[in-house]
């Protein structure tokens, strides 16, 4: 029996194809657990332990309550502010201006309109109940309760805004000593009275502040507290001092990365002099250039979809702050940071190491398809719509082809194999399948005959009778075809095709 078809396959290896700079998924994205590490250190999370500690402190406020947050949209905290004011507690709030929030909506792809609307709604709720001011440069997040009470003063530094970030972002919360809480109150008072630009005078009524005290910025009195204020970059200077002093290891976390900022430059220098530097951030286009510069110097970069914490641990010493590694945070904004005592520093270091082990994304500038299976996000794309899945293989049907002749299906040429892109997937290999089909006699072909060799030549010159070829021969559009019926005819068919310049084909199906 003569085979009509032959199944063929071929594999194109794409493992060496480069992916370009991007984020490789190492683990699943998970919320934080073990939210309270000690009496001084919290991680934010779905159980809201840190938020509840803030609310409890507000509920116990006796005389003064100071709160700073870039965004403010948590009902429990808002109610705590209102209830404190209704008890007669002098309650002061400083937050970002609406102009700054609107600008963030344009600049930051992870910044949502819903956040801003919630913030504006809450401010309207606070109007007439607390004294609230705003400024375009306000970014610090902290709470101070009763700083005038000396050893009973309480203070909390938060990397999270006082909104849904307390529940679903990857953040840190720090309880400060009474002395540091008082120093943080000094920072608040300066920013509130001397730097704020508008004051809330009624629902949706923020009024320009016409006069401010003309004083030089007052540095925090506690040596553990550092701030970015007008004409003061003590926080930036402390960050640089720590990085430049590193001998063994730097662990850093920052939501923002400015490739032109001196802090990133110092991190690259530290890595090049042999310090082991690991950076934690959030995978988004805004950090692409910064990540590239750091990675080129040997910095390991890991990321989480919800990372917003800002911290620096250098050879065991820890600084937790509200500032990103950029100019707004360390040069021009209102930001604060705190150097932690030994036990709290260990808790923060432990947290960053745990994040390093468990964070879902790792930055690679030079990965190839063969280096990874699973999710990959190009560095210039956001996680919301930019994630591509690298898979082991795709199966793809190639075009069937017709063999040159019916007895040589194996010798048929390979069709053009061009991988067809699959949305949101990149294969390491593409397996092509196709069929080689035996050629068949075309429709409309006319059978050819030959003179019978068994009949003697006629004495009258009459031509010998015509008989079919064996196997039969046909012609179509000047081309000749030898039609095979059985394999027993194969040798004769091959010889006849050579003699006639014909093609070996099968009879029509």
- 82/171 same-domain check: yes
CA gap 10, 39 in Å, rounded: 63
Q: Answer whether residue 97 is part of any domain.
A: yes
Same domain? For 284 and 378 the reply is no
Q: List the CATH number of the domain containing 277.
A: 3.30.870.10
pLDDT band at 99 (very low <50, low <70, confident <90, very high): low
198 lies in the same domain as 265: yes
49-59 and 75-86 are packed helices; what angle lies between their axes, rounded to 10 degrees? 10
Among 302, 337, 364, give the residue marking a domain's end: 364
Give how far the C-alpha of residue 174 lies from the chain's centroid of Cα atoms, to the nearest Å.
Answer: 27
Q: Same domain for 354 and 373? A: no
Domain end call among 320, 337, 364? 364
pLDDT of residue 382: 92
Domain count, the chain: 3
Rounded to the nearest angstrom, the gap between the alpha carbon of residue 201 and the centroid of all alpha carbons in its chain is 41
Q: Do the Cβ atoms of 391 and 427 come closer than 8 Å?
A: yes
pLDDT surpassing 80 at residue 448: yes
Judged against a pLDDT cut of 60, whether residue 416 lies above it is answered with: yes
476 with 424, same domain: the answer is no
pLDDT score for 120: 78
Band of pLDDT at residue 112, cut at 50, 70 and 90: low
pLDDT in tens, 338-359: 999 999 999 999 999 999 999 9
Q: Quick check: is 324 in a domain? A: yes
Is the model's pLDDT at 111 over the cut of 60? no
pLDDT band at 457 (very low <50, low <70, confident <90, very high): low
Tell me: do 265 and 395 sit in the same domain. no
Q: Is residue 216 part of a domain?
A: no
360 with 371, same domain: the answer is: no
**Rounded Cα–Cα distance for residues 427 and 13 (Å):** 9
Find where tokens 């890991």 sit: 302
From 318, 337, 364, the end of a domain falls on 364
**Residues 379, 308 share a domain:** no
pLDDT at residue 458 is higher than 70? no
Q: What is the mean pLDDT of residues 97-106?
A: 61
Label residue 32 by pLDDT band (50, 70, 90).
confident
Same domain, 81 and 176: yes
In the predicted model, what is the mean pLDDT of residues 37-43? 96
Residue 429's nearest CA partner among 390, 391, 393 is 393
SS3 77: helix
Rounded mean pLDDT of the chain?
A: 92
DSSP characters for 280-292?
A: EE--SGGGHHHHH
pLDDT higher than threshold 70 for residue 216: no
233 and 275 housed in the same domain: yes
Q: Looking at the structure, do residues 403 and 454 belong to the same domain, yes or no? A: no
Host domain of residue 380? 5-18+367-437
pLDDT of res. 8: 96
Whether 460 maps to a domain, the answer reads yes
Question: Residue 218: pLDDT above 80?
Answer: no
Residue 214 falls within a domain, yes or no? no
Q: How far apart are CA 490 and CA 467, in angstroms?
A: 20
pLDDT beyond 80 at 214: no
Q: Is the pLDDT of residue 196 over 60?
A: yes
Residue 310 lies in a domain: yes
- Confidence band of 263 (pLDDT split at 50, 70, 90): very high
Residues 346 and 488 in one domain: no
Report if residue 245 sits inside a domain: yes
Residues 6+ apart with CB under 8 A from 156: 53, 54, 57, 142, 143, 144, 173, 174, 175, 176
Residue scoring higher pLDDT (3 or 57): 57
**459 vs 235, higher pLDDT:** 235
215 in any annotated domain:
no
In this predicted structure, the answer to whether residue 331 has a pLDDT above a threshold of 90 is yes
């Amino acid at each position: 029996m003569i085979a009509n078809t032959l199944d063929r396959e071929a594999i194109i290896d794409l493992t060496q194809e480069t992916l370009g700079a991007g984020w490789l998924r190492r683990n699943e994205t998970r919320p934080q657990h073990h939210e309270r590490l000690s009496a001084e250190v919290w991680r934010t999370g779905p159980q809201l332990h840190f938020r509840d500690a803030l609310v409890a402190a507000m509920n116990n406020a006796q005389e003064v309550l100071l709160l700073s947050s870039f965004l403010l949209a948590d009902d429990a905290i808002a109610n705590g502010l209102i209830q404190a004011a209704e008890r007669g507690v002098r309650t002061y709030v400083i937050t970002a201006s609406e102009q700054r929030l609107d600008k963030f909506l344009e600049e930051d792809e992870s910044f949502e309109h819903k956040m801003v609307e919630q913030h504006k709604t809450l401010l309207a709720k606070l109007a007439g109940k607390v004294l609230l001011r705003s400024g375009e440069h306000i970014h610090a997040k902290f709470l101070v309760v009763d700083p005038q009470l000396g050893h009973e003063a309480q203070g909390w530094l938060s990397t999270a805004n006082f909104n849904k970030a307390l529940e679903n972002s990857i953040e840190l919360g720090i309880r400060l000593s009474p002395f540091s809480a008082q120093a943080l109150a000094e920072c608040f008072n300066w920013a509130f009275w001397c730097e704020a630009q508008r004051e809330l005078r009624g629902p949706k009524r923020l009024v320009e502040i016409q006069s401010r005290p003309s004083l030089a910025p007052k540095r925090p009195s506690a040596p553990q507290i550092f701030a970015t204020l007008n004409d003061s970059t003590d926080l930036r200077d402390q960050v640089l001092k720590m990085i430049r002093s590193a001998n063994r290891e730097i662990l850093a976390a920052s939501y923002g990365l400015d490739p032109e900022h001196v802090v990133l430059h110092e991190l690259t220098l530290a890595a090049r002099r042999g310090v082991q530097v690991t950076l934690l951030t959030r995978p988004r286009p805004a950090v692409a250039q910064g990540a590239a510069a750091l990675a080129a110097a040997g910095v390991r970069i890991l990321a989480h979809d919800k990372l917003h914490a800002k911290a620096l641990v250098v050879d065991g010493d820890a600084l937790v702050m509200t500032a990103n590694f950029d100019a707004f945070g360390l040069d021009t904004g209102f930001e604060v940071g705190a150097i932690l005592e030994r036990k709290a520093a260990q808790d923060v270091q432990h947290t960053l190491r745990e994040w390093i082990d468990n964070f879902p994304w790792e930055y690679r500038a030079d990965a190839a398809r063969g280096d990874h299976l699973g999710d990959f996000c190009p560095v210039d794309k956001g996680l919301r719509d930019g994630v591509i899945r690298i898979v082991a293989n795709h199966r793809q049907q190639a075009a069937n082809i017709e063999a040159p002749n019916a007895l040589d299906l194996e010798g048929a040429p390979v069709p053009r194999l061009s991988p067809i892109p699959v949305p949101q997937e990149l294969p390491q290999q593409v397996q092509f399948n196709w069929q080689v089909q035996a050629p068949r006699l075309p429709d409309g072909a006319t059978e050819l005959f030959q003179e019978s060799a068994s009949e003697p030549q006629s004495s009258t010159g009459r031509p010998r009778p015509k008989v079919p070829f064996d196997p039969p021969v046909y012609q179509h559009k000047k081309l000749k075809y030898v039609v095979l019926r059985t394999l027993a005819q194969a040798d004769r068919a091959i010889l006849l095709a050579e003699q006639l310049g014909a093609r070996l084909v099968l009879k029509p199906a």
